[in-house]
């Protein structure tokens, strides 16, 4: 969410940013919110004048009563009563205007970084760099769930009977591999100086509205009926929410946290749920990283965060590339975003396995996350990035480590988490 003062003083910048994100339908909102803001400030000024006058009149009434001038005091009391009625009207108007302004401000997108490429959608995202040599073996690689089923490692049919499409039972060595990857990712991030955290898996609507746009919430979040609680779509939500309505000491920054959680998503929209896939699902587990820092440090941390994901995948010999998200592919709160994509030997292309985002002070402004600095208080910057989300990571891992005989190699760093196992072999 932008600062209303910034919008008021820089309407052309705000409008151009909306155009850069190909959201022209939102352009009228800029003039509308500026008009509402002017009305709000005028209303507040009139209310403040009445409050100030009320205090003066109260003193006059007291003085007149002390002098025995009761009739004059009664006349002033009538004026005070009339002012009180007007003040009540103004206070109602102030509240109504504040709500209207907030609703619009929550809809106007954040100002993107100048380095973000301009494009309509994810088809115009820009490749930055490749890491590792993508290899296509000279034998056919089966579909990822077929590989898992060859080890009796997944049961989609039973999950379908229990919960429907978008769920799965992981079994045996595949389930162990899933947990091992999460544990390895946890320790990888701890070794990079991040504090490990297991957060709440449900959050209140106040936090939901603080960390994401209304459109994202509707497409992603599951609501708990009868309660002000939502299942998290990623632990970033509750991790950033941890700081709601707090004032952080500047000398304690940055706060660097890595968190484990299950995640729950509706996955509404064009992509949908594939019946025999674990690429896009309703429930999965994830290791996340978040940073709360000073504004001048956020771009430095942005580069560190996506590099962590690249380094983790390369430590397991999985080729990856980084992709800069274009303006039209950025969610409204984001300043800049980079996707990390892993190589799929079966598809002979890369696919998304993580996303790193700098949100500037947008979440901090919504959640009132402030920093107590030497020059006064200001809003923190927040960032987040995926370490690993094992369903997708499993796809990349199995395809890139599959042998012609159907066995799967376990890279050296992962072996301690797999009980020393060097390969997964068919029983």
The span from the CA of 199 to the CA of 14, in Å, is 35
H helices of 106-171, where? 144-150, 156-162
Q: What domains are defined for the chain?
A: 4-105 (1.10.287.40), 122-424 (3.30.930.10)
DSSP H stretches of helix in 151-290: 156-162, 172-190, 205-211, 214-220, 235-241
In this prediction, residue 64 has a pLDDT band, given cuts at 50, 70 and 90, of low
- Closest to 242 (Cα-Cα) out of 191, 287, 292, 284: 292
**CA atoms of 400 and 403, how far apart (whole Å):** 9
- For residues 254 and 292, the answer to whether their CB atoms sit within 8 Å is yes
Mean pLDDT of 159-183: 95
Q: What is the pLDDT of residues 249-258, one digit of tens each?
A: 999 999 999 9
Q: What is the pLDDT of residue 270?
A: 46
| Structure confidence by residue, pLDDT tens digits, 264-323 | 999 755 455 566 788 888 999 999 999 999 999 999 999 999 999 999 999 999 999 999
Q: Model pTM?
A: 0.90
Top-confidence residue, 339 or 166: 339
- Residues in CB range of 300: below 8 A, 6 or more apart: none
Mean pLDDT of 89-95: 93
Rounded average pLDDT over 103-114: 96
Which of the 8 DSSP states describes residue 297? G
260 confidence band (pLDDT: 50, 70, 90):
very high
Q: Please name the residues in contact with 162: beta carbons below 8 A apart, sequence gap of 6 or more.
A: none
* CA-closest candidate to residue 319, choices 298, 345, 281, 338: 345
Band the pLDDT of 360: cuts 50, 70, 90: very high
Token pair recorded at residue 293: 């820092």
């Amino acid at each position: 969410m932008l600062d209303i003062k910034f919008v008021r003083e820089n309407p052309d910048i705000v409008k151009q940013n909306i155009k850069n994100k190909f959201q022209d339908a939102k352009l009228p909102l800029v003039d509308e919110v500026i008009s509402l803001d002017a009305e709000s400030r005028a209303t507040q000024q009139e209310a403040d004048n009445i409050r100030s006058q009320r205090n003066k009149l109260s003193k006059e009434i007291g003085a007149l009563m002390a002098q025995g001038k009761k009739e004059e005091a009664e006349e002033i009391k009538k004026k005070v009563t009339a002012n009180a009625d007007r003040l009540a009207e103004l206070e109602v108007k102030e509240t109504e205007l504040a709500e209207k302004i907030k609703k619009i401000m929550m809809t106007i997108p954040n100002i993107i970084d100048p380095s973000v490429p301009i494009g309509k959608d994810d088809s115009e995202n820009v490749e930055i760099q490749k890491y590792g040599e993508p290899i296509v073996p000279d034998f056919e690689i089966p579909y990822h769930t077929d590989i898992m089923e060859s080890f009796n490692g997944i049961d989609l049919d039973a999950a379908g009977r229990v919960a429907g499409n978008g769920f799965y039972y992981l079994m045996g060595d595949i389930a162990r591999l899933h947990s091992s990857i999460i544990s390895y990712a946890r320790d990888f991030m701890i070794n990079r100086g991040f504090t490990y955290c297991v957060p709440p898996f449900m959050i209140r609507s106040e936090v939901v509205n603080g960390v994401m746009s209304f459109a994202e919430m509707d497409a992603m979040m599951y609501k708990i009926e009868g309660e002000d609680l939502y299942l998290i779509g990623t632990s970033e939500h509750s991790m950033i929410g941890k700081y709601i309505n707090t004032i952080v000491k500047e000398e304690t920054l940055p706060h660097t946290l890595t968190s484990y959680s299950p995640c729950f998503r509706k996955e509404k929209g064009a992509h949908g749920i594939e019946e025999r896939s674990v690429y896009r699902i309703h429930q999965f587990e994830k290791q996340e990283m978040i940073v709360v820092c000073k504004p001048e440090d956020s771009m430095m941390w942005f580069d560190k965060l996506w590099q962590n994901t690249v380094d983790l995948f390369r430590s397991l010999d999985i080729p990856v590339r980084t992709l800069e998200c274009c303006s039209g592919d950025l969610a409204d709160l984001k300043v800049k975003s980079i996707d990390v994509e892993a190589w799929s030997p079966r598809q002979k292309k890369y696919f998304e396995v993580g996303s790193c985002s700098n949100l500037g002070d947008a979440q901090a402004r919504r959640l009132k996350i402030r920093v107590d600095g030497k020059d006064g208080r200001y809003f923190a910057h927040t960032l987040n990035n995926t370490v690993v989300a094992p369903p997708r990571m499993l796809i990349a891992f199995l395809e890139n480590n599959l042998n012609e005989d159907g066995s799967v190699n376990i890279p050296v760093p992962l072996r301690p988490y797999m009980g020393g196992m060097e390969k997964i072999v068919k029983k």
